[in-house]
């Protein structure tokens, strides 16, 4: 009841002010008071048996928000005649869908039709990364609603590729109203997680098409990577932040400055004066954490559906009928 009033209030405001509703703190406090607690408890439990879960969920959040905003369009399954985002090549390595379904089922049992899949992704990503710190690393505002459209082809236009150079990265982030500073801070997310060899192996084996190695890649590190990645098509998973790939810290930037960034797009951050300056600043752990928190909030706000837009899916992989 209260929930409906809130929605009406927001819809009226929307018309009056000519703008969409904003996300807010604890949007579910009346409609599903335990929602955030359930998400946190379940996520924390699941992380204890899967140290790579935080990386999966963080990437899921990013890949969802950069295509049609943070609307859980990434979770929708393909249907006859439509290839959805999750089945497009840039997303094929993603995991963690089952985790979101698991959490959603628990929420539906308590408060059917109330908590959006889009909010579950945002909260679970934050909570999973935060587990070792025993406090939330960034604030997640809530009230996102779920989209009804997911188009695989949109991933190519919206998601940055690992071979992007600095200009391409800047343009990509610019298209989301994000700055070079945002870019450098958010890239720190690569302090956790794994990447398949074929997302960077041209740097090892065929950089300019002459069977050569990327000269900007640290030769010792390249040697090490070649022991893991045997060929251009190898899909073996390697740590993105060597020996620290389950620890959320500033190691990403330390490695990067030693020319040990894994992707061309990582190395690209050193090719621009302004972005290199930000890399140096972010070596300071406290600064990285503060700024990462601010930019996660910005990421989580991208083109969100609020008020009466979109819907609250009852199953995250399927639009309501
Ligand atoms: C800006 C340009 C970016 C590029 C080109 C990029 C590219 C990639 C690629 C190629 C992978 C390997 C996994 C795969 O092939 O699917 C990866 C993994 C990952 N990315 Fe990024 N990424 C970018 C930005 C971000 C941002 C902004 C975040 C989060 C806020 C992020 C979080 C992650 C995480 C956590 C992983 C590890 C996933 C896992 O272990 O399952 N990335 N990224
Ligand atoms: C939806 O897709 C996932 C894989 O992305 C698959 O595991 C699941 O079975 C699908 N669900 C349905 C109902 O088709
Ligand atoms: C970027 O900002 C412009 C102007 O405020 C706005 O119209 C546009 O929707 C924004 N784009 C995104 C992706 O948020
Ligand atoms: C290396 O790249 C060149 C140019 O793109 C291509 O012709 C050649 O087949 C590649 N070599 C291998 C081993 O794939
Ligand atoms: C990771 O740790 C191992 C064992 O301590 C060490 O031999 C290796 O060089 C390290 N890898 C990198 C890339 O730093």
Q: Give the CA angle between residues 234, 240, 246 to the nearest 5°.
A: 125
Residue 243: the pLDDT is: 87
Least Cα distance to 175 among 195, 189, 154 occurs for: 154
Question: Mean pLDDT throughout 196-207?
Answer: 97
pTM (two decimals): 0.93
Q: How far apart are CA 152 and CA 81, in angstroms?
A: 11
**Dmax over Cα atoms in the chain, in whole Å?**
67
Kindly give the number of the ligand 2 atom that is closest to the alpha carbon of 318: 13
- Note the pLDDT of residue 10: 62
Q: Vertex 35, ends 61 and 193: CA angle to 5°? A: 30
Is the CB of residue 303 below 6 angstroms from any atom belonging to ligand 3? yes
Mutate to test the pocket of ligand 2, among 56, 117, 317 (most ligand atoms within 8 A of CB): 317
Among 7-16, 48-57, 185-194, 216-225, whose mean pLDDT is lowest?
A: 7-16
Structure tokens at 220: 């010792």
Predicted local distance difference test score (pLDDT) of residue 262:
97
pLDDT of residue 20: 63
pLDDT of 17 above 60:
no
Q: How far apart are CA 282 and CA 151, in angstroms?
A: 35
Question: What are the backbone angles phi and psi of residue 16, rounded to the nearest 5°?
Answer: -60, -45
What does the mean pLDDT of the chain come to? 94
Give the burial class of 222: count Cβ atoms within 10 A of its Cβ; 0-12 exposed, 13-18 middle, 19 or more buried.
middle
Neighbours of 285 (CB within 10 A): 12
Ligand nearest to the CA of 231: 4
Could you give the domains of the chain?
A: 2-158 (1.10.520.10), 166-298 (1.10.420.10)
259/225 Cα distance (integer angstroms): 13
Please name the residue whose Cα sits nearest to atom 6 of ligand 4: 209
Centre of ligand 3 from the C-alpha of residue 120, in Å: 24
Exposure on the CB side of residue 166, measured as CA atoms within 13 A: 13
Task: Calculate how far, in angstroms, residue 304's C-alpha sits from the geometric centre of ligand 3.
Answer: 12
Cα–Cα distance measured from residue 227 to residue 225, given in angstroms and rounded to the nearest whole number: 5
């Amino acid at each position: 009841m209260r929930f409906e009033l809130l929605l009406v209030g927001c819809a009226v405001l929307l018309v009056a002010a000519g703008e969409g509703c904003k996300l807010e703190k604890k949007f579910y406090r009346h409609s599903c008071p335990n929602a955030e607690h359930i998400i946190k408890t379940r996520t924390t439990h699941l992380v204890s048996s899967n140290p790579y879960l935080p990386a999966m969920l963080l990437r899921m959040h990013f890949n969802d928000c950069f295509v049609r905003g943070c609307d859980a369009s990434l979770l929708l399954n393909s249907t006859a005649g439509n290839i959805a985002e999750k089945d497009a090549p840039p997303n094929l390595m993603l995991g963690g869908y089952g985790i979101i379904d698991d959490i959603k089922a628990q929420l539906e049992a308590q408060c059917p039709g109330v908590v959006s899949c889009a909010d579950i992704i945002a909260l679970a990503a934050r909570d999973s990364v935060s587990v070792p710190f025993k406090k939330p690393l960034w604030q997640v505002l809530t009230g996102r609603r779920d989209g009804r459209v997911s188009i695989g082809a949109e991933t190519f236009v919206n998601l940055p590729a690992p071979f992007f150079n600095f200009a391409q990265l800047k343009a990509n982030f610019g298209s989301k109203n994000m700055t070079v500073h945002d870019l450098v801070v958010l890239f720190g997310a690569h302090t956790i997680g794994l990447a398949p060899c074929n997302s960077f192996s041209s740097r090892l084996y065929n950089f300019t098409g002459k069977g050569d190695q990327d000269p900007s890649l640290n030769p010792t590190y390249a040697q090490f990577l070649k022991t893991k990645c045997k060929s251009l098509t190898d899909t073996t998973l390697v740590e993105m932040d060597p020996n620290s790939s389950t620890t959320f810290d500033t190691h990403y930037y330390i490695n990067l400055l030693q020319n040990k960034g894994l992707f061309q797009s990582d190395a690209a951050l050193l090719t621009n004066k302004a972005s290199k300056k930000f890399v140096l600043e972010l070596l300071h752990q406290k600064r990285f954490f503060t700024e990462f928190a601010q930019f996660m909030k910005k990421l989580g706000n991208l083109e969100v559906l609020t008020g009466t837009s979109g819907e609250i899916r009852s199953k995250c992989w399927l639009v309501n009928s």
